[in-house]
Amino acid sequence: MITYVEGLATDAMSDQFGIVFPEGIPGGGSGELLRLRLNDGFDEPELTAAVYDVNFEGLKIPKTGSEETDKQFTMTFRMDGNWKVYEALKNWHGRVINTITGALQAEKDTRTTMILNAYGPPNKSIVYSKRFNGVKIKTFKVSTWNYENKAEPVKIEAGFIFINTDELTIAENYNV
């Protein structure tokens, strides 16, 4: 048993990941800056199928129906001293809805693509990659200003929606 466990490949580590915006982000902001200033991590949405019950003589048979995945996720970014992160996300959100005029830009001008990469051996290569299609910013909030936060950077919490995901790579040559 011990030999078997020792023979297992290394575990996938939850901090070995990165997000990329290959098409940039709407509004002209820097997707690379968002990648570098991502704070706390990324919580993937749960894939869900709708469930309905068929009852039969006192028993319940659950069955699955259509897609019911909550297609949204949240990411938190550390604000830079030049407020470029704020500018990038604010411009994007401003395209989704202009809070002064109420104008909404066209769907194609407010959505982009985001890729989640998971790294592993050797040499921190990309082992797993998932693409989120049609990502659009939904919520946007600067963290609370507080005189007591002596060593706390300002953070921006942004909520996003997306259309669907693609699996770009699968770890085929990885010994498990």
Partner 1 sequence: MANILDNLTSKLEGLDVTLQQKLFGKKAGSSAFEKMDKANYIKLANMNLQLKDRLKFFILPSVEAFSKGSYNPSKGLSPFSDIGNVFNIANASVGMLGNYVTTLYLQEITFPLGPVIEYEEFTKRPKALQKPDSITFTFLEDEKGTVLRYMQIWRKTIVYVGSNGGWTSALSNNSEYVFADNQEATERIGILLLNSANKKKFTFPRIMFYGLKFKDMGQLTVGYNQKDNLTYTVTCSIREVSLPII
Residues that bind partner 1 (CB under 8 A): 54, 56-57, 59, 61, 63, 65-66
Residue whose CB is less far from partner 1, 48 or 169: 48
CB-based burial, 114-140: b 16+ in 10 Å, e otherwise: bbbbbbbeeeeeebbeebbebbbbbeb
Asked if 131 contacts 113 with a C-beta cutoff of 8 angstroms, the reply is: yes
Cα–Cα distances (Å) from 13 to 3, 37, 73, 124, in that order, read 22, 20, 21, 11
Residue whose CB is less far from partner 1, 98 or 149: 98
Residue whose CB is less far from partner 1, 37 or 95: 95
CB of 54 to partner 1, least distance (A): 6
CB of 175 to partner 1, least distance (A): 34
CB of 57 to partner 1, least distance (A): 6
